[in-house]
């Protein structure tokens, strides 16, 4: 029986037929997806914080409206992704527990602080840009609900990236103080963004299996290279400099070469030693705990209404 | 002088929407439920959008090179004409909800009348905004009922919220000089008219929420004429920081 099911599953994967929630799937495939989708959802929710930090200080009404809409989009992405993960048999509350207890991870990039307005531009251009690079292939992920959620997420992310680029472009054309602000933001966000693609392929334990299951379509290093190639060209329009003295075009490979990545920093931030790990998690926990009475009241009221309706039926 | 009064009235409408929208936006990323985080951010967006429409119109009428941003970012607290209610801190979810419910209900009846304004632009902005505000009233009144008639804790929090906020509701119906002038010239809304509707709506929702409303009490006022709480200065300090720190920069 199990053998037959495994064959059907493998056959679907090979023929690029989407796996749907009610289909049989290997337990490890299910667990891998729960881990990846919930991590992704948590990243959206925690990711609201560094940018939300500038909503009340956005420099114009137009920028303020755009930033609120953007951060609100991230909440929406979190919502689709939690829902996609729920189809695999885990509840949103369970996923929150995993986030709050530190069991589940979220993208380390959000453990860096937003110091100036230019950081909002840098996050849009680089962080959302890297996210798109990762996520566009996920629109073809073998798991149906994830793939479908990603189609919408990617559309919105590409808008986010353009707004970030446009912020930096405006600053780049602005006063010397604004240009300094923009360059400083690029200096601080560049390397963490490069690290967003995850460890090098030979140190990424989950990649091979995920590629076989067609959850992932490209390796970390492939995506990272693609991202660097794109940014190295785009930065010319901004009039800014990428903080990597080894960044050079390599005619032979058709790609940009780049300098060594500080993997020690990467692992330290994952372990919880980034500049904002504690603050981010505490903020999420606080929102959740302080919202407990609200959620309890809403359920209590909903039950009351249900009871009243039931009485009316009799 | 006609223009000055019209500008003041328009700025009053804009400041109300901006400041409460700004307060709502403070919730973004910190809401008690993800869906409600989205809802309140959306309301913030609607209100900031309304503020922009009014500021743009005030800038056009003034014709002195003002823009929506110079009006929002380069005036000091004593020039802001919003009511005090909108600048109060968010407090807990109960206080935020109650503030929003009181304010949205006020805006609803106000915009309903403003659609008949002799000033075509104010009427058009009101007509567009009324669709949004209709939803804000529905959303906030549902939450007032849910929290009032939810658990003992949520009820107590709502009672405390009423206690904190009620004395800031009277100002909504206390006409400032520019409103009286605007009423005479038939572009501003007569507040005594909408007060009856407001009281009726608030009373009926609070009855359903099993929340008693206070008897007549002393009402705070002054915001419409630039006499604010201490909170407004801090809101502006945050909001105007970049415009003040880097004058004449484009963003």
Q: Does residue B12 contact residue B81 with C-beta atoms inside 8 Å?
A: yes
Q: Which residues have a Cβ under 8 Å from the Cβ of B95 and sit 6 or more positions away?
A: B88, B89, B160, B161, B164, B165
Distance CA A94, CA B196 (A): 48
B49 in reach of chain A (CB within 8 A): yes
- Taking an 8 Å cut-off on Cβ atoms, the answer to whether A287 and B32 are in contact is yes
Report A:195-234 residues touching B (Cβ under 8 A): none
Whether the CA torsion B106, B111, B116, B120 is positive or negative: it is positive
Domain for residue B251, yes or no? no
Residue B67, in any domain of the structure: yes
Asked if residue B105 belongs to a domain, the reply is yes
In total, chain B counts a number of residues equal to: 251
Return the pLDDT at B175: 97
- Contact indicator for B74, B67 with CB cutoff of 8 Å: no
**DSSP for A179-236?**
HHHHHHHHHHHHHHHHHTT-S-GGG-TTHHHHHHTTS--S-HHHHHHHHHHHHHHHHH
A283 and B CB contact within 8 Å: yes
Query: Does A151 touch chain B if contact means CB atoms closer than 8 Å?
Result: no
The answer to whether A303 contacts chain B (CB < 8 Å) is no
| A265–chain B nearest CA distance, Å | 27
Look at B93 and A56 and tell me if their CB atoms are within 8 Å.
no
Q: Give pLDDT tens digits for B7-18.
A: 999 999 999 999
Contacts 24+ apart (CB under 8 A), B183-188: B185/B2, B185/B5, B185/B118, B186/B117, B186/B118, B187/B6, B187/B9, B187/B117, B187/B118, B187/B119, B187/B122, B188/B9, B188/B117
The model's pLDDT over A128-160, given as tens digits with 9 standing for 90+, comes to 999 999 999 999 999 999 999 999 999 999 999
Contact A192, A108 (CB under 8 A): yes
Q: Quick check: B28 and A48 CB within 8 A? A: yes
- Asked if B24 and A71 touch (Cβ cutoff 8 Å), the reply is no
With an 8 Å Cβ cutoff, is A306 touching chain B? no
Whether B180 shows a pLDDT value over 70: the answer reads yes
> Closest to B25 (Cβ–Cβ): which among A55, A174, A296?
A55
CB A256 within 8 A of CB A232: yes
Closest approach of A161 to chain B, Cα-based (Å): 17
Structural domain contains residue B121: yes
Min Cα distance B167 → chain A (Å) is: 25
Q: Do B151 and A293 touch (CB under 8 A)?
A: yes
Give CA–CA dist A148/A152, Å, rounded.
Answer: 7
B152-165 helix and B120-148 helix, angle to the nearest 10 degrees: 140
The token pair that represents B55 in the structure block: 């500021």
Q: Please state, rounded to an integer, the average pLDDT across all residues of chain B.
A: 97
What pLDDT score was predicted for residue A1? 56
Q: Using CB atoms, which residue from A65, A177, A296 is nearest to B48?
A: A65
Using DSSP, state whether A248 is helix, strand or coil: strand
| Facing residue for B41 by CB, picked from A68, A170, A291 | A68
Residue B250 maps to a domain? no
Assess if residue B151 is contained within a domain: yes
Q: Say which CATH number the domain at B207 has.
A: 1.20.1260.10
pLDDT band for B1, please (50, 70, 90 cuts): very low
- Cα A198–Cα A202–Cα A207 angle in degrees, nearest 5: 60
Per the listing, tokens 């000089």 go with B177
Helix (H) or strand (E) holding A89: none
Q: Does A307 reach chain B within 8 Å, measured CB to CB?
A: no
Contact B30 A283 (CB under 8 A): yes
* Cβ contact, residue pair B154, A64, below 8 Å: no
The interface predicted TM-score (ipTM) is 0.97
A57 and B238 within 8 Å at the Cβ level: the answer is: yes
pLDDT digits (tens, 9 = 90+) for A169-221: 999 999 999 999 999 999 999 999 999 999 998 888 788 888 888 888 899 99
B44 in any annotated domain: yes
Across residues B67-78, what is the average pLDDT?
98
Task: Quote the minimal CA–CA distance from A171 to chain B in Å.
Answer: 7
Q: Which of B68, B146, B249 sits opposite A298 (nearest CB)?
A: B146
Judging contacts by C-beta atoms under 8 Å, the chain B residues touching residue A174 are 249-251
What is the per-residue pLDDT for A216? 84
Chain A residue closest in CA terms to B242? A59
Name the DSSP class of A123: I
Q: What are B100-148's pLDDT values in tens digits?
A: 999 999 999 999 999 999 999 999 999 999 999 999 999 999 999 999 9
Interface test with A, best of B32, B140, B144 (most A CBs within 10 A): B32
Domain of residue B153: give its range: 4-245
Find chain A residues with C-beta within 8 A of B31's C-beta: 287, 291
The answer to whether residue B79 sits within a structural domain is yes
In chain A, residues with a C-beta closer than 8 Å to the C-beta of B72 are: 61
Query: What was the pLDDT predicted at B2?
Result: 53
The label of the residue with tokens 């409303």 reads B213
| Maximum pairwise Cα distance, chain B | 55
Chain A neighbours among B 121-160 (CB < 8 Å)? 145-147, 149-151, 153-154, 157
Count of structural domains, chain B: 1
Question: What Cα–Cα distance (Å) separates residue B62 from each residue in B10, B71, B185?
Answer: 11, 11, 18
* Contacting residues of A for B242, CB less than 8 Å apart: 57-59, 117
Residues of B in contact with A56 (CB under 8 A): 22, 25-26, 235, 238-239
pTM of the model: 0.96
Low-confidence ranges of chain A (pLDDT < 50): none
Give dist(CA B196, CA B124) in Å, integer: 24
């Amino acid at each position: 029986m199990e053998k037959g099911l495994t064959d059907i599953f493998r056959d679907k994967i090979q023929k690029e037929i989407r796996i749907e929630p009610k289909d049989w799937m290997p337990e490890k495939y299910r667990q891998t997806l729960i881990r990846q989708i919930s991590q992704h959802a948590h990243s959206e929710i925690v990711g609201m914080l560094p940018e939300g930090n500038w909503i009340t200080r956005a420099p114009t009404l137009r920028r303020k409206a755009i930033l609120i809409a953007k951060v609100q989009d991230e909440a929406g992405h979190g919502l689709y992704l939690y829902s996609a993960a729920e189809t695999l048999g885990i509840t949103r509350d369970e996923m929150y527990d995993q986030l709050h207890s530190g069991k589940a991870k979220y993208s380390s990039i959000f453990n860096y602080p937003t110091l100036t307005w230019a950081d909002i531009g840098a996050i849009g251009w680089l962080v959302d840009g890297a996210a798109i690079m990762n996520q566009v292939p996920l629109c073809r992920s073998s798991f149906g609900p994830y793939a479908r959620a990603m189609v919408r997420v990617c559309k919105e992310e590409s808008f986010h990236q353009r707004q970030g680029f446009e912020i930096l472009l405006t600053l780049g054309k602005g006063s010397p103080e604004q240009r300094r602000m923009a360059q400083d933001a690029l200096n601080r966000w560049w390397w963490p963004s490069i690290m967003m693609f995850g460890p090098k392929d030979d140190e990424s334990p989950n990649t091979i299996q995920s590629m076989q299951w067609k959850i992932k379509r490209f390796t970390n290093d492939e995506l990272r290279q693609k991202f660097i190639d794109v940014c190295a060209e785009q930065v010319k329009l901004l009039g800014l400099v990428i903080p990597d003295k080894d960044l050079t075009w390599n005619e032979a490979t058709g790609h940009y070469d780049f300098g060594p990545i500080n993997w020690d920093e990467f692992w330290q931030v994952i372990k919880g030693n980034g500049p904002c790990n504690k603050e981010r998690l505490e903020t999420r926990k606080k929102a959740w705990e302080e919202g407990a009475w609200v959620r309890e009241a809403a359920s209590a009221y909903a039950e009351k209404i249900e009871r009243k309706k039931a009485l009316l039926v009799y | 002088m006609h223009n000055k009064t019209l500008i003041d009235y328009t700025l009053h409408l804009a400041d109300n929407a901006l400041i409460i929208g700004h307060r709502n936006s403070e919730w973004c990323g910190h809401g008690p439920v993800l869906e409600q985080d989205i809802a309140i951010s959306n309301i913030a967006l609607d209100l900031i959008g309304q503020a922009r429409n009014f500021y743009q119109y005030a800038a056009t009428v003034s014709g002195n090179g003002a823009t929506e941003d110079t009006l929002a970012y380069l005036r000091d607290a004593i020039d802001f004409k919003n009511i005090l209610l909108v600048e109060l801190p968010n407090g807990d979810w109960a206080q935020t909800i109650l503030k929003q419910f009181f304010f949205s209900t006020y805006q609803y009846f106000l915009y309903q009348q403003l659609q008949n304004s002799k000033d075509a632009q104010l009427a058009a902005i009101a007509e567009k905004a009324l669709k949004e505000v209709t939803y804000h009233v529905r959303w906030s009144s549902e939450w007032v009922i849910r929290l009032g008639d939810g658990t003992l804790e949520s009820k107590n929090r709502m009672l405390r919220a009423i206690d904190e906020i009620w004395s800031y509701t009277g100002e909504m119906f206390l006409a400032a000089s520019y409103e009286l002038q605007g009423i005479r010239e038939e572009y501003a809304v007569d507040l005594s008219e909408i007060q009856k509707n407001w009281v009726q709506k608030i009373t009926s929702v609070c009855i359903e929420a099993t929340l008693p409303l206070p008897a007549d009490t002393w009402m705070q006022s002054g915001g419409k004429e630039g006499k604010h709480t201490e909170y407004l200065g801090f809101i502006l300090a945050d909001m105007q920081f970049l415009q003040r720190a880097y004058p004449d920069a484009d963003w």
